[in-house]
Structure 1
C-alpha cells in the first residue's frame, strides 16, 4: 500500500467522484459497501443485507445484489491498486479508474438475508491496464460464493462526460 493509504479508511471513501450504485459514497440510494485493505493484495468487506435485497424466497439474498457487492468490492480494489502501482495513495493526483471486464460468480449455497456477509478478495495479477481478482463470500463462516473479476483500466472521460 502507498504510505497515504489508511487501512482504517474504506477504499470507497478515498475514491473521488464515485456515483456507483454498489460502492459509490456519492450515490445516496446505493448499497454503500466499504472495503478495507488487510495487506498489499488482500481486502475484506462486511455487508449487512436488508429485507428488500431478497431473492424470490424472502430469506435469501438476491443474486444480483450478491454479484454487485462482489463486483464493486473487487473493482474498488483494482482502482486502489492502480494508484499503488503509481506510488500514490488512493484518490491522490490524476484519477485512475477501472471497470468490470469480466465477472464470473459461482453460487455455491444460498446466502441468508438475516446475517451479515464477509467478502475476502485477493489481487492475483496486477498491471497498469488490467487486474485479476478472486473473491469469496462468506455467511455464517461458510463459503457461499466464489468469483473471479477481471478489471480493466478505463479513461477518465468515462466519468466526466454525459
Structure 2
C-alpha cells in the first residue's frame, strides 16, 4: 500500500516492523502474516516477546485485513483506484501465554462484522501452535486523503 508509513505495517517506513498481511491459501476468509521477532523486541525477560509489540502487530494485522476486505468487496485489487484505508477505532487485546522471541509467530485474522465505515476483526497471535494473544480490532474507514496527510 503506497504512502503507508505506519511503524508496524508500513512498507514506506524503513525503521518499522513492515508486517505484511495476505489472504490464506487454505481459507480465503482468513488473513495471515508472519513476524520474526528480533532481540530488541524482548520484554523484561529476554526470551519473551514484548506485549506492546504484540499489540502493535495484532492491531496492524486487523487494520490491514479490514483494508484488504474492503478492496475485495469492491472487486478491486489493493491500491487500484481511490485509496481505501482504515484507522484503529478500538483495540482489545487479551494475552494468554508468553510468546517466545526466538521463533517466528503467525498472525491470523478474520472479519467478524462489516458496516459501511466500520469493520471488526478477530486476530490471534500463534507461536508453536499455542494462541499467545487475541485481539478484537475495530477499524474505522477514513477518507482517502487521510493516508497522505
Specify if TM > 0.5: yes
Does 1:66 find its partner at 2:54?
Answer: yes
Does 1:111 find its partner at 2:99?
Answer: yes
Contact 2:34/2:106, CA 8 A, preserved across alignment: yes
Aligned to 1:75: 63
Aligned to 2:134: 146
Taking only aligned residues, the RMSD between alpha carbons, in angstroms, comes to 1.1
Aligned to 2:19: 33
Structure 2 gap segments, 5+ residues each? none
- How many residue pairs are counted as aligned between the two chains? 147
| Structure 2 Cα separation of the partners of residues 77 and 120 of structure 1 | 10
2:77 to 74, 80, 89: 89
Structure 1 gap segments, 5+ residues each? 1-14
Can you list the C-alpha shifts for 1:5-58, whole angstroms capped at 9, x where unaligned? xxxxxxxxxx22111101011100010112110244211111110000011111
1:102 to 90, 95, 98: 90
Q: 1:159 deviation in Å?
A: 2.2
Contact 2:3/2:148, CA 8 A, preserved across alignment: no
What's the TM-score, normalizing by structure 2? 0.94
